Amino acid sequence: MADVLTEWGLPDGADTADTVRLIVSELATNAVQHTFGKSPTFTVDVRLERDERLRIGVTDSHPRWPRRLPAAVQQDNGRGMVIIRWLAAECGGRLSVTPTPEGGKTVWIALPWTTPVQT
């Protein structure tokens, strides 16, 4: 994924690259942990739309949608969506969830893309 972001004009050491990697990591972790083994696979989709918006989607086949949990101090997990929403908002982006035809869902993050594409 880092190679793709670099091809699209994002320097490898850029803060945005780290943010994208963390978002993908958190979304993938959620797809594994919160489907309780009922979604044996998941897919990651990273798209650059019209050189204006980066869309990151993680799709799994489990019908349960993400839930916003309180970030209690004693809680060891459950903060993934809080982190993802915060990271997206910090970059001027947003989170959405769409159903798949097979009954699962895709969690999407859309971030503004301000880095010019180098050709």
| pLDDT tens digits along 6-56 | 888 887 778 888 888 899 999 988 888 877 667 678 899 999 998 889 999
- The full 3-state SS of the chain, as one line of letters, equals CHHHHHHCCCCCCCHHHHHHHHHHHHHHHHHHHCCCCCCCCEEEEEEEECCCEEEEEEEECCCCCCCCCCCCCCCCCCCHHHHHHHHHHHCCCEEEEEECCCCCEEEEEEEECCCCCCC
Which one-letter amino acid corresponds to residue 113? W
| pLDDT tens digits along 84-115 | 899 999 989 999 999 999 889 999 999 998 75
* Tokens at 79, concatenated: 């903060």
